[in-house]
Amino acid sequence: MDGAFTIVVEEPDVGQRLDAVVARHVPDCSRSLAVELITAHRILVDRQPKKPGYRTKAGDRIQGCIPIPEPIEYPPQPIPLNILHQDESIIVIDKQPGLVVHPAPGHSRGTLVNALLYHCPDLGAIGGEIRPGIVHRLDKDTSGIMVVAKQAAAQEELARQFKDREIRKTYLALVYGEVRPASGEITSPIGRHPTDRKRMSTTTRKGRDAETLWQVRERLNGITLLELLLKTGRTHQIRVHCTSIGYPVVGDPVYRPRKLSRRIDELLSVHPRRVMDSVKSTDRQMLHAWQLSLVHPQHGRKMTFEAPLPEDMQRLIGKLRGGG
């Protein structure tokens, strides 16, 4: 049976939006789900349909039902996870490279979602179906910090913080070239590539605003270690922005310029051949989500999490430091 409920409006809910009142009083009902159900006339006020923005009055009788969670579609799998923090509202992980975040059609196994369902079986029902509360993503071959909501209210609050750009995301990346000056800003809009729909680009006519702040952490004779702060969260933002200014991310097969192969030997000429070969054989983009700062959705305290560089990036940096 669906989760039927009745709310009689009293202070302090008088004059509030209907969707907000429902989300506040009904467990595991997010604001977005409330909007969906109100619009579908599955939530009524005094047996009359209203809009989500209807301002409630004292004595209004709000009635409706929340659909029961749909059967889980993806099997839990004992995939190792490096859990940095966990409480009743959120779980913070250091995602390993090579792990896809969410299942796709035909690929229901081997993802972060499958791992979360195994390591954290108490994930709440969010949005009317049982699924981990993914509020942001990392590319398959990008490593580092991710936060996942465990409750509907936490998901909604974290989604708001991401939307309002209140969450601070800092990355580390190895890029080709000796980046100069020591710091800078990239503000080129990002949108779908005009001819390759699987890629993003700064040359599209319909780009969305994007802002990346960067500073040099270390120059490694033809390769630079950058620290990058994302002010926005566009798809492939760092990879696209770095390529746009002439410093593509090491190991990135998608945004690597065609002419780059000719430059690599020149860029790395000071290093021994074994170091050059290590750089050339890198099989994933050397990009790591290093730090993430947020306001905890339950107790309101600011929290900062940090994930150390993964072993493959550490090894490559060590070789570059010792090779010239």
Q: Which residues are catalytic?
A: 139
Spatial separation of the C-alpha atoms in residues 152 and 159, rounded to whole Å: 11
